[in-house]
A and B are shown apart, each in its own frame.
Chain A
Amino acid sequence: MSSREKELIDLLVKEAEDEFLRTAGDLPPEELERIRQKVRERARAEAEREVRRLLRKREEEEKRERERVEEEEEYFIRFNRNFRFQHMVLFTSVIILIITGLPLKFPDFALSRWLMSLWGGVKYSTVIHRIGATMLIYFMVHHLLYTLLSRDGRRDFIMLIPTPKDFRDFFQNIRYFVGKTEDPPKFDRFSYIEKFDYWAVYWGCVIMIGSGLILWFEETAMKFLPKFWVDMAHEAHSDEALLATLAIVIWHFYNVHFNPDRFPGTLLWWHGKISKEEMLKEHPLEYERIMAERARRKEAGEEGRQ
Chain B
Amino acid sequence: MKWRVAALFPLILILFLPLAPKTSQGEWVGQSRCLVCHGKREYRFYKKGGYAKNLYVSLEELRASVHKEKFCSDCHTDVVELPHRGTPSRVSCTTCHYKGNPEGAPQLDAYLEYERSIHGLEAKEGNPDAPLCQDCHGSHNVRPPEDPLSTVNKRNVARTCGKCHIDIYAEFRTSIHGVAVARGVEDAPSCPDCHGEHNILEPTNPESTVYPSHVPTQCSKCHAREAIREKYGIKAEPVKTYRESFHGVAIEFGARTVANCASCHGTHDIRPPEDPLSSVNPENIPKTCGKCHPGATPKFAEGKIHIDPTKKEAGAVYYVASFFKYLTITTMLGLICHILLDLYGRVRRMRRKERMR
Contact = CB atoms under 8 A, between A and B. Distances in A.
A236 B320 contact: yes
B304 A228 contact: yes
A227 B309 contact: no
Interface stretch (A74-82, A134-142, A238-246, A276-284): A238-246
Contacts, number: 114
Given A104-B249, A122-B254, A179-B345, A235 B335 contact: no
Contacts of A260: 343, 346
A4 interface: no
A66 to B, nearest CB: 36
A235 B301 CA distance: 18
Interface string B275-313: 000000000000000000111110111111101010000
A239 B321 contact: yes
A231 B254 CA distance: 23
Interface stretch (B44-52, B147-155, B325-333): B325-333
Contacts of B346: 260
A122 B255 contact: yes
Contacts of B253: 103-104, 107, 113, 116, 121-122, 125
Given A235-B320, A246-B332, A228 B315 contact: yes
A260 B349 CA distance: 13
Given A227-B300, A243-B331, A250-B339, A104 B246 contact: yes
Nearest to A196: B335
B320 A178 contact: no
A204 to B, nearest CB: 11
How extensive is the interface on chain A, given as a class?
35 or more
A98 interface: no
A246 B328 contact: yes
A206 to B, nearest CB: 14
B43 interface: no
Nearest to B350: A260
B299 A227 contact: yes
Interface stretch (A16-24, A149-157, A218-226): A218-226
A145 B345 CA distance: 40
Contact of B324 (A104, A176, A219, A239): A239
Nearest to A225: B299
A176 B317 contact: no
Contacts of A259: 342-343
A121 B342 contact: no
B348 interface: yes
A177 B320 contact: no
Looking at A104, A218, A226, which has the most chain B CB atoms within 10 Å of its CB? A226
Given A228-B304, A232-B320, A250-B339, A177 B293 contact: no
Contacts of B328: 239, 242-243, 246
7 contacts: A107-B249, A107-B253, A123-B255, A125-B253, A226-B299, A243-B324, A260-B343
